Amino acid sequence: MTPTQEQELWMYRHMVVSRFFEETIETIYMEGKTPAFNMAKGPIPGEMHLSNGQEPCAVGVCAHLNSDDIVVSTHRPHHVAIAKGVDLKKMAAEIFGKKTGLSGGRGGHMHIFDAHVNFSCSGIIGESVGVAAGAALSRKMQGKPGVAVAYLGEGAANQGAFHEALNLAAVWKLPVVFVIEDNAWGISVSKQASTAVKYNSDRASAYSMPGVHIPNNDPIEIFAKAGEAIERARNGEGPTLIEIETSRLAGHFMGDAEAYRPAGEKEHLAEIDPIPGFKKRLQDQYQWTEAQDEALRGQARELVDAAIQFARDSDYPAPEEALDKVFV
């Protein structure tokens, strides 16, 4: 399965938007946090897990999805949310804790919910998988179209929830795809130090489902393999496990000194940054020009700036609104 030029540009554009978004958040996050770093300070308090480098995992999969399909993501959700079509302004406002945010400031950056595009995520490692399997079960029982995609990190593949949900999805042949974003690090512990198998995709064989290993963070290959998995799911042929070796260009969260990284790793990851790589591909394949690239980047920048401005301009909720929305 190969993407059309239009699909490639869609993927590239969303990667660029996501990167601009994260870089902007990164800058604003530090406002009020210097010289002394205090997580509670500044316009964006709390933990912040940036997705720089992991954009191919988002676009290569979500290029095959429409708003009816379900995505359940992780504590590092922005790139996937953007590729799934989550309202960027409302997401930015949520991250700022504003009244206009997706949940009016109740959730925050690890709890992004946009019911209009069936996107949600969780800050608990491994809990995306059961929820996605259940959404897939819902579609199957209702005879409604749509597949579910669960994102998880490679660290979550050592959680019981992962194994339980894969087994359940396979037993019930559910239209769900499990996507492992293997960024090689569970906070500071390497995959090698935490995981008995070399490839988590091998674990699929324990649950009689295809396991697909994608080694190089290549959006085109992710597009191809995810497309096959999603088609299988749509055709009622059951779940697939996909493992993507991706790159976490930033720390686990903002403020992470990353002393655990081997010397030279960050530099190497910067060299294999997927965005310049994609640009080069567009140049080689489609005679993509600098002028076209500048225009695309300009539009992406405008989108992000508008979202951030919306967030900055929005009011905070009244504190006592915290008491609402526990129940409906």
Partner 1 sequence: MTQVQAKARKLTIARAMAESIAMEMRTDDKVFVMGEDIGELGGVFGNTRGLYKEFGSERVKDTPISETAFIGAAVGAASDGMKPIVELMFVDFFGVCFDAIYNMMAKNTYFSGGEVNVPMVLMTSTGGGYSDGGQHSQCLHATFAHLPGMKVVAPSNAYDAKGLMTAAIRDPNPVIFMFHKALQGMGWLGTEKDAIVNVPEEVYEVPLGKAAITRTGSDVTIVGITSGVHHGLKAARELEQQGVSAEVVDLRSLVPLDRDTVIQSVRKTGRLIVVDEDYHSYGMTAEIIASVTEAGVPMKAPPQRVAYPDIPIPFTPVMEQWALPSAEKIVKAFAKMKENE
Q: Which stretch binds partner 1 (CB under 8 A): 35-43, 48-56, 114-122, 283-291?
A: 114-122
Helix or strand or coil: residue 300? helix
Binding residue for partner 1, selected from 127, 154, 218, 245, defined by CB under 8 A = 127
Total residues binding partner 1 (CB under 8 A): 44
Helix or strand or coil: residue 227? helix
Q: Is 156 in the site for partner 1 (CB under 8 A)?
A: no
Rounded CA separation 85/105 (Å)? 20
Q: Is 173 in the site for partner 1 (CB under 8 A)?
A: no
x/- mask, partner 1, residues 287-326, rule CB under 8 A, reads -------------------------------------xxx
Residue 322 CB, shortest distance to partner 1, in Å, is: 9
Q: Is 161 in the site for partner 1 (CB under 8 A)?
A: yes
Binding residue for partner 1, selected from 81, 132, 212, 244, defined by CB under 8 A = 132
Q: Is 107 in the site for partner 1 (CB under 8 A)?
A: yes
Q: Between residue 192 and residue 231, which ones bind partner 1 under the rule CB under 8 A?
A: none
Rounded CA separation 252/254 (Å)? 7
Q: Between residue 44 and residue 83, which ones bind partner 1 under the rule CB under 8 A?
A: 70, 72
Residue 79 CB, shortest distance to partner 1, in Å, is: 19
* Cα separation of the two ends of the chain: 43
CA dihedral 217, 222, 223, 229 (to 10 degrees): -160
Tokens describing residue 10: 């869609």
Q: Is 24 in the site for partner 1 (CB under 8 A)?
A: no
Environment class of residue 123 by beta-carbon count within 10 Å: exposed (0-12), middle (13-18) or buried (19+)?
A: middle
Residues 6+ apart with CB under 8 A from 152: 74, 125, 126, 128, 129, 162, 178, 179, 180, 181
Q: In sequence order, what E strands does the chain have?
A: 70-73, 119-121, 148-153, 176-182, 185-186, 189-190, 211-214, 240-245
Binding residue for partner 1, selected from 62, 157, 168, 242, defined by CB under 8 A = 168
Binding residue for partner 1, selected from 63, 131, 282, 308, defined by CB under 8 A = 131
Q: Which stretch binds partner 1 (CB under 8 A): 15-23, 24-32, 57-65, 126-134?
A: 126-134
Element (H, E) at 252: none
Neighbours of 22 (CB within 10 A): 25
Q: Is 179 in the site for partner 1 (CB under 8 A)?
A: no
Following DSSP, what letter does each residue of 55-106 receive, concatenated? HHHHHHHHTT--TTSEEEE-SS-HHHHHHHT--HHHHHHHHTT-TTSTTTTS
Quick one: 11 or 135, whose CB is closer to partner 1?
A: 135
* Residues 58, 74 contacting (CB under 8 angstroms): no
Q: Is 95 in the site for partner 1 (CB under 8 A)?
A: no
Q: Is 134 in the site for partner 1 (CB under 8 A)?
A: yes
Contact residues toward partner 1 (CB under 8 A) are 70, 72, 101-104, 106-107, 111, 113-115, 118, 120, 122, 124, 127, 129-139, 141-142, 148, 160-161, 164-165, 167-168, 171-172, 324-328
